[in-house]
Amino acid sequence: MTDERTAGRWRYLRRLGLTPRESMAQIQGERLHCGGPSTKSTAQRETPPDHGKPFEAWGERAVVWCEDPGALGLRLVGFADEIARPNYAHMRGRRRRAGWFCSADNITGELARGVVYRLPAKRGEERFLYGVADPNNDAAAVLSLGVVSGRSVDPGVFDGPSYNEGARDAAYLADGMAENYAESKIDNAAAWDMGRDQAEAAHEAQTLRASLRGLLAEIREAGSNEGRPHICETLRLAARRLYSEMHEARQRRDALASEGEALPEDERATYREALGMGV
């Protein structure tokens, strides 16, 4: 993978909502073509082929981004809100929209929507993978590698459409993962804005300091010229105003720095990335 392609891939994964650490894990996995989630968990796991390195995110121990799950032999069952809402009383009326807002006040219009895929049956048992549909790519999804299985149920057992128990439970898990995904995107966007605001405050303080130094030089020059006290007073007033603005900018910079360094690890990495870009 060339440096240009790596940079492009990095930007895409960051827009997808992955943190810097998760993005790098995905890229490294694609470079090495290695796979296989951790086997330490007792939960059954299934790793789709042709994927990047699994990573931990959004409340899941192992997830992987798939460009086209259908091309990997996974069959789409449906979106979580379509599958689970009829059969889970607590999901009815929980929200009228399909999915979770990925930005504060839905500024970007992106929605994180849980999705369920069917794996090939094993020993006659239905098996499912759940995840989040990529808000920026209709064909892609981020999938948890935890396999959910269950028996088919007869019509009338639940008050909604008849579904396989595994698909229904996978839909519930997918909806929870989508909620965590959306919250992560909102938190990382806030961390990014914090880093950018700090960089701007630091730049403003430096600019004001340079202006103040120039003004002080003018005051010294005017002070050496007798008969121009009114000019000196005007310059001193301007210098006081510049100093006050510089002090306020420094206070904003320091407050943002303190708040940014106290963020959780992933959000702190996003904050530092934005800060490092400067103005």
Give the sign of the dihedral formed by CA 20, CA 21, CA 27, CA 30.
Answer: negative
* pLDDT at residue number 247: 94
pLDDT tens readout for residues 191-240: 999 999 999 999 999 999 999 999 888 888 776 666 566 777 888 889 99
Do the beta carbons of residue 270 and residue 187 sit within 8 Å?
no
The encoded tokens of residue 32 equal 């090495």
- All residues at 6 or more sequence positions from 233 whose CB lies less than 8 Å from its CB, including other chains: none
Q: Are strands 125-133 and 141-144 parallel, antiparallel or unpaired?
A: antiparallel
pTM of this structure: 0.67
In angstroms, the CA 59 to CA 132 distance is 12
Q: Does pLDDT of 3 surpass 70?
A: no
* pLDDT at residue number 49: 44
Q: Does pLDDT of 251 surpass 50?
A: yes
* pLDDT at residue number 209: 93
pLDDT tens readout for residues 238-248: 999 999 999 99
Residue type, 233: E
Q: Does pLDDT of 36 surpass 70?
A: no
**CA nearest neighbour of 141 among 152, 149, 130:** 130
SS3 for 48?
coil
Name which residue leads in pLDDT, 87 or 174. 174
pLDDT tens readout for residues 143-201: 998 888 876 655 444 444 445 778 888 988 998 899 899 998 899 889 999 999 999 99
Q: How much is the mean pLDDT over the chain?
A: 76
Each domain of the chain, given as residue ranges in start order, spans 3-186, 188-276
**CA nearest neighbour of 117 among 191, 158, 174:** 174
